[in-house]
Amino acid sequence: MDPPFNEIYKNLLFKQITNTENSVPQIPFSFSITAVVEEVELPVIDVSRLIDGAEKEREICKEEITRASREWGFFQVINHGISMDVLEKMRQEQIRVFREPFDKKSKSERFSAGSYRWGTPSATCLRQLSWSEAFHVPMTDISDNKDFTTLRSTMEKFASESEALAYTLAEVLAEKSGRKSNFFKEKCVRNTCYLRMNRYPPCPKPSEVYGLMPHTDSDFLTILYQDQVGGLQLIKDNRWIAVKPNPRALIINIGDLFQAWSNGMYKSVEHRVMTNPTVERFSTAYFLCPSYDAVIECSGDCPTYRNFSFREFRQQVQEDVKKLGYKVGLPRFVNHLY
């Protein structure tokens, strides 16, 4: 069932040389293991007020979403319109797929080639290794799949309801930043977005290996449904904090594109997933992405970032990961004219 982590990465796992700054000169500061001071509950926002609330309640809800996106880059939503039945079915189907033998799921034709991923092929040290496996599925793979399995129908339901929630939140954030709120329905159409099912197997070296390396998301907005195992951490006030799981909530986080589009008003925050020595963890994420040709134009008279297409951004990220072993992201697109 598990990918062959121990076999493929045995040199990284068992070599005696410690990965110091001298042996890995370019590794970012955030990759070092630092003590997590506390487990916190992210801001919790009841988004049913956007639909059912009076005008004053709607405005209060919008302000809460905006404040959390500026101060945290992460928040939780409850009464979000996705039923617990859909979420539980998604979790059950996900577990069933990941329970398949490695040879079967790694060669599965249920999704397009390359959808199944595990580990970190470019890793040169333990700090660059992600102890996880995932199905990274384009929405078109779900919509165009004529195999009416329970998995496909469950993913379709989850994705459709996540899409509606993502549009609602993105339009609020656009309105509050003074941008056109119809941008997302025009540029982030269904066939440009993704669903990602994640599994984090138990890891023999949880103090040395990440479930998912520190990173920011290369999208506008991410919607995350996770189990209650825990492990998600993010940077707040220059320190790592652990996110306390909330069974009633979905986690929302701002991506790089929203930070650039809003001229830094909203924060794309670095986050990571820690491994567990005995318990596996599951999560499913929906990514609100534009078409590759969409141009991200930074707002304001003094734009922090230059204009760039999503294709250019993705290509730069891939080049950096290949060359450096990690993503650089938005600093590559800073506008040096101001």
**Which position among 110, 281, 311, 332 bears the catalytic label?**
281
231: left (phi over 0), alpha (psi -120 to 50) or beta: left
- Residue 310: strand, helix, or coil: helix
Spell out the residues 6+ positions from residue 63 whose beta carbon is closer than 8 angstroms to its own: 176
Spell out the residues 6+ positions from residue 25 whose beta carbon is closer than 8 angstroms to its own: none
Amino acid symbol at 338: Y
Beta bridge partners of 234: 241, 271
Q: How far, in Å, CA of 121 to CA of 105, rounded?
A: 18
10 Å Cβ neighbour count for 251?
Answer: 22
User: Does the annotation mark 152 as catalytic?
Assistant: no
Question: What single string gives the DSSP state of each residue in 283-295?
Answer: EEEEEE---TT-E
Positions annotated as catalytic residues are 281
